[in-house]
Amino acid sequence: MMKSTDQKLPMVLETRLTMGYRTYLPEDYSDSGDPLPLLVFMHGSGERGNNLDYLERYTLPSFIKGGLELPFVVVCPQCEHMWDAWALDRVLDEAIEQYHVDPSRVYLTGNSLGGLGTWMLANVASHKLAAIVPICGPAVRINTENFKDLPTWVIHGAMDSEVAVGESVKMVRALRNAGCDVRFTVHADLDHDTWTPTYHDPEFVTWLLSHQR
C-alpha cells in the first residue's frame, strides 16, 4: 500500500497564495535508495476546496487509496476554485526538492479540470518535464514552442457530454501543426470518465517511464 502525507505550501506571487497537496509514496521509497520518478496529478472540479480528503473522492487518489500501486512519488495539489500555473510550478519545485526523486523523470497528468491544469503547468514548466498525459480537459491557450520536446499523450472520450472531444482535438491539432510529438487516443464508446481505464492500464505507466528528459 502506498503511504500518504500532506503538505501546505505557502507561496508568494503577485498575490498571496497557499496550496495544499497530498503525496503518495511507494513502499520502496527511501531517502537513501534509488531516486524514484515523480508524477504530479491535477484533480477535476469535484475535488476542489481546502480539504485534502476531497482529493480521494474520485480518480487517481481514490484508486491509490483503494490499492492501486504506482512506481512514482505521486504529488496531488488541490485548488480551491481554478488552477494557477505559477502556483502549480512552485508545488512542482517543492516536490522535486523535498522528495528523493529523479529530476529527469518528472511527469504530469490530470483529468477534466485537471487536464486543463496539466496543459497550464506544462506550458510554464516544460523544461522540467519528461512527458504529460492530459485527460478529457478543456482547451487552453499555450505556446506550442514549449511543447516541442515534450512527449504528450492526449486522451478523451468521443461521447464526452461534459467536455467535448473537440477540446482535445484543438490542442492536438495545434501541437501537431507545430511539429510536436503527440499521441492521441479517443475512446469511441466512453463519456467523460476516460480516467478510470487510463489509470488502471499498465500502458499508462509504461509509456510515461519510456520517456526521460
Rounded to whole angstroms, the Cα distance separating 134 from 114 reads 8
Going by pLDDT thresholds of 50, 70 and 90, the confidence category of residue 2 is: confident
Going by pLDDT thresholds of 50, 70 and 90, the confidence category of residue 33 is: confident
Interior/surface letters 54-71, b for 16+ CB within 10 angstroms, e for the rest: bbbebbbbebbeeebebe
Which CATH number belongs to the domain containing residue 66 in this structure? Answer: 3.40.50.1820
Predicted structure pTM score? 0.92
| Domain contains 13 | yes
Going by pLDDT thresholds of 50, 70 and 90, the confidence category of residue 13 is: very low
| Chain segment 152-169, per-residue pLDDT in tens | 999 999 999 999 999 999
pLDDT of residue 19: 86
Domain range holding 17? 3-208
Rounded to whole angstroms, the Cα distance separating 124 from 3 reads 30
Please state the domain count of the chain: 1
| Domain contains 213 | no
| Domain contains 44 | yes
pLDDT of residue 14: 36
| Mean local confidence (pLDDT), 162-186 | 97
pLDDT of residue 18: 67
| Residue of 198, 6, 178, 27 lying closest to 95 (CA atoms) | 6
Percent over 90 (pLDDT), the chain = 88
| Chain segment 114-127, per-residue pLDDT in tens | 999 999 999 999 99
